Amino acid sequence: MKRILIIILALLITGLAGGYEYRMPVNIQSSTTPAVLMPGDEAILAIQMQNGAAAYGVGKDAGVSSLSSNVLLSTPINRTLLQGTSELEVVDPYRYDLGMVGPNDQITVFYKVRAGENVSAGTTLLDFTVLGGYDMITINRNIPIKVDPSAVSMAIIDSTSSSPSTTPSKATVNLNVANPRENTLNAVTIVPSAQGMRFSPERYYIGTMDPDEVFTISFGVEYTDLGKTARNPSNVSFVAEFKNGDTWHESEPYIATYTPPLQADRPNNNLLLMAIGALVLLAAGGYLYRKKRLSKNGDGGKGSS
């Protein structure tokens, strides 16, 4: 009799164990910070793995009739692997013993991804493998990583004098600064430079720039070399410093030809010419008047004698 009870109990335990279904987390999503990498960047990749079941206690019948045939247990995540490429290095690609994930629960794993200096532009798919479940089921997914080498772009708008009385050695240059990338850039700073010229401010801090955002900034320009004429065009260089994620970058120099405005000193030149002309006319008039007067005096002296 005891033997029969033991056999019946063993069958019940087997039925209970067979009634559970261990589902793997089939919903896998990823995000990177920054969203788009540049050459030399180090990004944080977050991969979320979510169990596809609707709720606890609701599951698919595993095929064994028992009291627990509709019960769904959590699934263990034993190991994950993210494989890099020759251009995208994955720091510490393995993760072990991540724990249990139940229906509608999720586990997030984080990886560091480093982009090489010569990384190709575009989207690269990294192989991601999940090993889990009590049957050690393997799931493979592709994780997209975007790379774009585009930096901050700049363009001179125009240059103007601050007032009509401004000397030719002082003026203002206006610059358009744009973010052509798909992601936000931080700590954007524009640094101008040119031989024999001083800029105010020396560095223009813009800060955060959203995708496709454009700022118009102005620099005061003054020639420091007084022996150099301020009317000739000069080459001016602008460099953008910024952060993409946690990595600092510096753009290639944007070199433009700066031509100082002439409107401010034209009135002064005209006044000078007018003054010189007036002096010439006065001198000529005085000379003719004196000559005429001397001539009259000479004629009067002859008549009296």
279 vs 81 pLDDT, higher one: 81
Query: Can you give the pLDDT at residue 234?
Result: 83
Query: Can you give the pLDDT at residue 227?
Result: 57
The answer, yes or no, to whether residue 41 has pLDDT greater than 90, is: yes
pLDDT digits (tens, 9 = 90+) for 211-240: 999 999 999 988 886 655 556 778 999 999
Q: Is residue 303 part of a domain?
A: no
**Are 136 and 87 in the same domain?**
yes
Closest CA to 149 of 249, 45, 238: 249
Strands of 94-101's sheet in order across: 36-37, 137-147, 122-132, 75-83, 94-101
Give the pLDDT mean for 289-293. Answer: 63
**Are 140 and 31 in the same domain?**
yes
Q: For a pLDDT cut of 90, what percent of the chain falls above it?
A: 50
170 vs 250 pLDDT, higher one: 250
118, 147, 176 - which closes a domain? 147
**Are 120 and 23 in the same domain?**
yes
Put simply, whether the predicted model's pTM sits higher than 0.85 gets the answer no
Q: Is residue 11 part of a domain?
A: no
If one counts the domains in the chain, the total is: 2
- Give the three-state DSSP class for 3: helix
243, 258, 273 - which closes a domain? 258
Closest CA to 221 of 265, 163, 168: 168
**Are 105 and 211 in the same domain?**
no
Q: Is residue 7 part of a domain?
A: no
Query: Can you give the pLDDT at residue 103?
Result: 80
Domain span at residue 241?
Answer: 153-258
The answer, yes or no, to whether residue 70 has pLDDT greater than 80, is: no
Consecutive H or E run containing 277: helix 266-304
Q: How far is CA 91 from CA 40, 113, 129, 221, in A?
A: 14, 6, 16, 47
